Amino acid sequence: MMPGPLPLTKELVLIGGGHAHALVLRSWGMAPLPGVRLTLISPGPTAPYSGMLPGHIAGHYSRDDLMIDLVQLARFAGARLIDAAVSGLDPAARLVLVAGRPPVPYDIASINIGIASHPSGLPGFAEHAIAVKPLGPYADRWQRFRADVAADRAAPRVAVIGAGIGGVELSLAMAHALRADGHAPQVTLIDQAAALPGLGASTRQTLLRNMDHQGVRLAEHAAPIAVGAGSVTLQSGTEIAADLTVGIAGARPQGWLQNTGLALQDGFIRVDAELQSSDPSIFAVGDCAALPSPRAKAGVYAVRQAPVLGRNLRADLTGTSRRRYRPQRDYLKLISLGGKSAVVEKYGGRLLGRWLWRLKNRIDLRFMAKFAELPRMPSPVLPRETAFGVAETLGDKPQCGGCGSKIGGDALTQALAALPEPTRADIVSAPGDDAAILLTGGTRQVLTTDHLRAFTEDPFVMARIAAVHAMGDIWAMGATPQAALATVILPRMAEPMQRAWLAEIMAAAAGVFVAEGADIAGGHSSSGAELTLGFSVSGLLDGAPVTLAGAQPGDRLILTKPIGSGTILAGEMTRQARGDQVMQALEIMARPQGAAARILGRAHAMTDVTGFGLAGHCLNICRASGVGARLDLASIPVMAGAEELAARGIRSTLYPENRRIAAAMQLPDSPRADLLFDPQTAGGLLAAVAPQEADRSLAALGDAGIDAAEIGCIEEGPPFIRVR
């Protein structure tokens, strides 16, 4: 029998979410290497598949059809995803420099960041045009342009700078889409050299005929010298009218590679036959790499490099032999023609027809299915013999992290009720309050503690959320955070990794506490089965505390954050939540509530919405104050994706326990109502505010950039919640 989880000993970092890295993550998830902490760094929760971009621009595919969900893929691979841009490398220290957070250490790193496609140094381009790569901003700009044309805010005039295969495909795709929208497109393809270099004469003529048929004008041997708000100026002095200008003028390396110290070729990372750079600990693949035998910048090479890269990364982590990558001499060029037809070329031969588009469609959909249909990993098998109740207690899904892993409210209430009444005169709060109030030399000090079982593989993000979560009780009582003591339980790992993890965690937490006027005064660390973070926090009261017991009939209820985090985290664990929605939920959880607490400091009662869910915490106010409440379900803000997941039956593991209070409620049967029992991590403040103060408070919250909402009111009567 294994002695618990194996320790972590090596850091493997993948920089960029390109096709090769996506395939490496997929294969890693099916056969992870014990002892390795895998990290993916990519700006954004999704990565576009370039092969389907022309089809998306033409209107044949939705945006979701061509996006690889990196959050789901990282969950499958057991990797942490850092949603940030890389700004550089320090190969000597083996650190990846990342915007907005501490450097990320690595033992082995791989770079798959693609290319830029903007025309170098073209005046006005940055202000008035959009580059095709990265693909995401271009796709967003295209959709806005179509909407502007439809609303007569822009004319259907497009200029495309760069007349290679990609430029021709996108010109035809944009012309097709604008024509399908009922417009007469004016698309001009511009290149300072000849169009379609590297293609056979027959294929080139076919594409030129299709461009002419669809009204795409070609201006070759025409160098652009400036881009304006509504035109592109050529060297000849000709001005081409364009309400949208797009750049796809060749492959350009990303600028930060120049300062890495790696050997470069024309700005791209020079690699050997084993895809290794001049630094033995760094590999590079895809368009950002320069192969020993030069090849075109095409996604097919990145796809075929993936298995070799995966093998060689494992080889360097285990001491086994690497493989050589042998690129094919040529590749099948399937070029779409705007509509659902295509031309294909290989070795100079050409074919044309709608059946080729169907072939391309099958190839593209089969590739994307690799990431949309990730294998379901088998559940751990129980021993042959177990005590009664083990299977039932274990349940049929993994336990949630964060507040979803907490003990139910009834158990905690009963345990607190059994405690003796405080005997010390310097303890002036009741056990049911959000935090303890202590009298110290005439000063009222608020004391609370909280910890979270990690629900994300990123300790930096987890530490920020844990810090915000721990201060929730301080803010809810109207106090100002003062000091914090950290409790950190790390999974087993090598000592250098322990130092790096602790430094990252403490830097993240300190950034949150210091910004709220508190300092980390010390802490305790230990080793355990998984990452768990907690903080004991003290705060100072300048005036009377805001407790649970002051709500009055007529008070209006204000909530400062949307609900749904428990459902989204449960969906992420089972790879059913969309990555962009998961990352948005993490960002909401990491938002501090100090400004909101100061604005709501005159509330009659206040609490932070955490493990018991909105309904449970609202009922706590009602019970302590001897009142009832009415909630307007439609007014309660909900995190994007949470209601849809709830409708599919996704629940946090604490949901059934939280739902027990439904006997003290009148509520509809709907997925949105189910979210009232969803445990929140680092949730918003729920405040009962006097009617004459509510509008002022809501306006002040809005001015502070806090998306708060009035969700109901306090009523006379017994502790009962009516939901309408």
- Alpha helix segments (H runs only) across 187-230: 201-213
Within 8 A by CB and 6+ apart from 705, the residues are none
Distance CA 46, CA 56 (A): 16
Neighbours of 259 (CB within 10 A): 12
Angle subtended at Cα 365 by Cα 360 and Cα 370, rounded to the nearest 5 degrees: 135
Q: DSSP characters for 651-675?
A: --TTHHHHGGGGGGEE---SHHHHG
As given in the structure block, the two tokens for residue 102 are 């501490």
Task: At 251, give phi and psi (nearest 5°).
Answer: -95, 130
Burial class (CB in 10 A: 0-12, 13-18, 19+), 187: buried
Given 403, 618, 622, 713, the catalytic residue: 403
Between CA 39 and CA 41 the distance in angstroms is 7
Secondary structure (3-state) at 77: helix
Q: Of 433, 690, 722, 438, whose CA–CA distance to 549 is shortest?
A: 433
Which DSSP category does 681 fall into?
S
- Cα–Cα dist 130/388, whole Å: 64
Q: How many CB atoms lie within 10 A of CB 528?
A: 13
Tell me, yes or no, if 400 is annotated catalytic: no
Tell me which DSSP letter residue 100 carries: T
Q: Indicate if the alpha-carbon torsion angle 407, 410, 415, 417 is positive or negative.
A: positive
Question: Which regions of 306-462 does DSSP assign to beta strands (E)?
Answer: 333-337, 339-346, 349-353, 436-440, 443-453
Q: Could you tell me the sign of the dihedral formed by the alpha carbons of 304, 306, 312, 315, in that order?
A: negative
Tokens of 686: 């729920």
Q: Name 563's Cβ contacts closer than 8 Å, sequence gap at least 6.
A: 609, 613, 614, 636, 637, 638, 639, 642, 675, 676, 678, 680, 683, 684
Q: Catalytic amino acids?
A: 403
